[in-house]
Structure 1
């Protein structure tokens, strides 16, 4: 006997016919496993609609009083498609700001949860990674504007060369007011150097006034407290803050959340501004950034200010006003601000025109270690002077250090005119008269002995000074030279006829040993290096570089293993290339020339099998 599978409608029809034929409803319901009311409903639907009435029907209600209006859903959907980065909170704030049917009382502005459901129904949501819950963060906000600025550097701006098509990345120096989230600084720079960052910061101070505090990370543009070597000490950004009474705060290492407001600003700013690139020039990029910042400050409601009503950063920001007319903004004279951004309060000190080699002055704050670095040179003052401001008086002959107007140390200078010009570009100013110390006091010349002797350099390039054998230079072998000996200063080897400085070496002599040298005589003028360029030869390495006076110069692998001629002057090095071209680079070291000929290529030593 074959099994016949009946459909649901057929089963219901058989049950209805059995009931209409006189069967008990309870028996039919028990056979089908349903409630007797269900059988009664089948009979009613069959009598009214015949066989079609036994089919399944939708349980959806005919109307839903709390369902969002179709017009509102259309507006929400179009806003999300036009601005894919807008979330439910931003969409709701925009609906509150702009006029529409809901502002006339016809429709109600939907809640954030309703907007979320609309976006889910329309398939306009995107998956996001899981984050820490909001209640786990410790939020803080200053009670008023201009109390704290968060400053940082971010990339994301692409510049393309119209001729070559080369794409490079520029940097943006950004600053946000902590209370109002007002963007006080957004400057596009080619490279985020210390000077470029300080120019942008000074322009923001000129435009909006001086805040009470600024907070940054440990970038070398902002602080030198944690640097090593010459980078340790007070940088130009710290000096601007100190001279204007701004407290400079630093975040903890690896804790960007402590400067979270500017970091959150980057999360909004960087994706939107990068979509407009690449840009053809810095001016075009800056124009786009200025337009975006103007809209952000005055038109765009900020979600962190008020979640119920649309509030823009400009509503809560107020520029600082000087407490008295005597309050002036200090800006280093070496920083040239844009004319459109200069304020009347900016003070450009009137300083006399400085000539190359003239003395300069600058200030440094002693770090906890007691080591100060100026122009790549170290000066020891000791931890006991931590926090004191030291005034440096520099020229090509002497370096004087003063604290509180009294000189505490004087050293023989190793700075060149090029080094002095570089320090001027970093904020140093022309110096006044050389500081004078009291007789016998710190830094005075009383009790110090300076003598000269003449010696003939041995074949190995050495000279004998008492019980010490000092290396002069191999290329000076057999030459009669003079030696300028000063206590606690390097030895100066010079030509006795022209007093041209040939070499400098560490001084191993004590005071007593220097006074007992044979054939010593009173000193003449301080030996000076020759102004004529010194010609040397160097062999290009396998990676295309040469080393002259401790400075590595890249020439390119195309010249590897070639011998080139270099003319070393006081501030430049000119290299004659094998193809007849000449390239000139800036000299960055003060080391003297110690070898004239380049090293011969090394040959491999044959192995003994």
Structure 2
């Protein structure tokens, strides 16, 4: 039966003599409902028992239509604004009626189809958030892409926000996110706002050498160390640790980069991002700050009388004189007077290699690697060439980019007039021995004169001294002990073009002990070395033996026991030094 029929049956049962209590129990309703049906039937008849709306005749707290229209208009004009932001803008613009609650604004948006109703996630109060107590206590820095240029390139943005206030302190567009570009952006922010107590970054190579093979110290770490900033790093693959700067990146993409056409140049992109940064800091309320503006909570650091310390190479690019770490020198009583005509000037100066391994002298950089960090390097420099020496041993020679003015300035800054160059520029006499330092690669190849030469797997990864003496090529190890001698594969013209070659020193010392190699005895009891076959006995088949090569003989040992000795009849060089991997033993058939 329908609802009306059920109510009519209940009324008939009461009129037939049943009690209201029994009828209410039989139909599963309250006694008040049965009395209400009786009243409706007496007043309106059967039509009064039809189902009716429960809507109240009036709603004094209903949202004013003008306010509801204003809510919808704000949402349509700004599709990314939620209920919190719309409510904030209503209060700032002047609401034509009573200001509704946030949930009322949300229901209005849902009712008009401007917001999709989604299942509720965790409450905001359930999230554990951390925030520093005051501004300038911690900055978060990172790098973000997505800045498309008209020529097809993609620029990067070096960003930084203050942890307490969410104030954007850095938003610099760079063509490439190199370590120097990141440090320049940081230096500009330090000059404008002061020095924070801590800096939090991820493990990018621009910020740290934590995961670099050579270790050392990058320029970013050096700036932090010299200015008393504690540099903190996140755990690997933990982007939520720098969640505030990541949330700034999301706002930057949504509100500017995603809908903006490609920029004509880096300068145009910087101008647009500067405008967004001003809006973000001063006009855009932040929900995490209870709809306050970041600029209201940010206070730059007061001056403490300590000047900003920057590396000399970075300070020159930043447009300010560098602050020396050591006490400043007294000014010269006599100014440096440059000669009227260019003269040949050679200078020797001693410098300490920084932690990054990249030594800079008068604007020219010399890469030495983090392995030489902290060592004193002597530079012999003139206007054409620079020699770098460690304890009297030349490490490398590079072309000079130093002008006469810079050479005279090095003399005035504590340099000394140089003697003769460590390597004569005169061409070497044909047939004289030359030496050069090289590293054998992982496959046992030596790079020399533009070609790869096989020298043996057993020397892979070693740093050796290569000595080319007439028709022989010697490989020398520590203390100039001869590791191996090979026929010289280079012509006289190729020898003269070897990079970083120097005149040969004294003759190498012979090896302390004969060279030993390994061989696996075949199933017929023989081994092969330098294409010479040696029979050692079928009783040793399958075993790995050691062969000691002498000038005229081969001695074969099995566990330090001499088992064979053969006269050397081959003139071939030994090229294999390790035995092949033994085959797994075969299972014996069961009897």
TM-score, normalised with respect to structure 2: 0.59
Q: Which runs of 5+ in 1 are unaligned?
A: 1-5, 162-166, 402-408, 422-428, 437-444, 446-451, 482-492, 495-500, 515-609
Q: Which residue of 2 aligns with 1:237?
A: 220
Quickly say closer, same or farther: Cα 1:192–1:116, change in 2 above 3 A: same
Would you say the 8 A contact 1:456–1:463 is kept in 2?
no
Alpha-carbon distance, 1:220 to partner: 1.5
Would you say the 8 A contact 1:148–1:215 is kept in 2?
yes
CA distance in 1, matches of 2:119, 2:504: 65
Is 1:455 equivalent to 2:445 in the alignment?
A: no
For residues 154-193 of structure 1, what are the structure 2 equivalents within 5 Å? 154-161=144-151, 167-193=152-178
Q: Which residue of 2 aligns with 1:79?
A: 74
Alpha-carbon distance, 1:56 to partner: 1.2
Would you say the 8 A contact 1:145–1:177 is kept in 2?
yes
Alpha-carbon distance, 1:58 to partner: 1.0
Q: Which residue of 1 aligns with 2:523?
A: none
Q: How far does the alpha carbon of each residue in 1:8-53 deviate from its partner, in whole angstroms, 9 at most, with x for none?
A: 546656776898xx74364995898476765654453344334432
Q: Which residue of 1 aligns with 2:211?
A: 226
Would you say the 8 A contact 2:71–2:105 is kept in 1?
yes
CA distance in 1, matches of 2:63, 2:270: 43
Would you say the 8 A contact 2:191–2:308 is kept in 1?
no
Would you say the 8 A contact 1:152–1:174 is kept in 2?
yes
Q: Which has the higher contact order (CA 8 A, sep 6+)?
A: 1
Q: Which residue of 2 aligns with 1:204?
A: 189
Number of equivalent positions: 431
Further displaced range: 251-260 or 117-126: 117-126
Would you say the 8 A contact 2:11–2:38 is kept in 1?
yes
Is 1:327 equivalent to 2:307 in the alignment?
A: yes
Quickly say closer, same or farther: Cα 1:256–1:38, change in 2 above 3 A: closer
Q: Which residue of 1 aligns with 2:133?
A: 143
CA distance in 1, matches of 2:280, 2:86: 16
Q: Which residue of 1 aligns with 2:577?
A: none
Corresponding residue to 1:24 among 17, 42, 63: 17
Alpha-carbon distance, 1:176 to partner: 0.6
Quickly say closer, same or farther: Cα 1:246–1:459, change in 2 above 3 A: closer
CA distance in 1, matches of 2:229, 2:246: 21
Corresponding residue to 1:285 among 264, 269, 272: 269
Would you say the 8 A contact 1:206–1:346 is kept in 2?
no
CA distance in 1, matches of 2:19, 2:358: 103
For residues 424-573 of structure 1, what are the structure 2 equivalents within 5 Å? 432-434=413-415, 455=431, 462-463=471-472, 469=485, 474-476=490-492, 494=496, 502-504=498-500, 513=509
SS at match of 2:57: coil
Quickly say closer, same or farther: Cα 1:99–1:359, change in 2 above 3 A: farther
CA distance in 2, matches of 1:25, 1:52: 23
CA distance in 2, matches of 1:184, 1:87: 26
Would you say the 8 A contact 1:150–1:216 is kept in 2?
yes
CA distance in 2, matches of 1:45, 1:17: 13
Q: How far does the alpha carbon of each residue in 1:534-571 deviate from its partner, in whole angstroms, 9 at most, with x for none?
A: xxxxxxxxxxxxxxxxxxxxxxxxxxxxxxxxxxxxxx
Corresponding residue to 2:109 among 94, 119, 135: 119
TM-score, normalised with respect to structure 1: 0.57
CA distance in 1, matches of 2:367, 2:79: 51
Would you say the 8 A contact 2:315–2:322 is kept in 1?
no
CA distance in 2, matches of 1:122, 1:459: 87
Alpha-carbon distance, 1:120 to partner: 3.2
CA distance in 2, matches of 1:513, 1:334: 48
CA distance in 2, matches of 1:360, 1:127: 73
Alpha-carbon distance, 1:278 to partner: 2.1
Q: How far does the alpha carbon of each residue in 1:77-96 deviate from its partner, in whole angstroms, 9 at most, with x for none?
A: 33233222223333333334
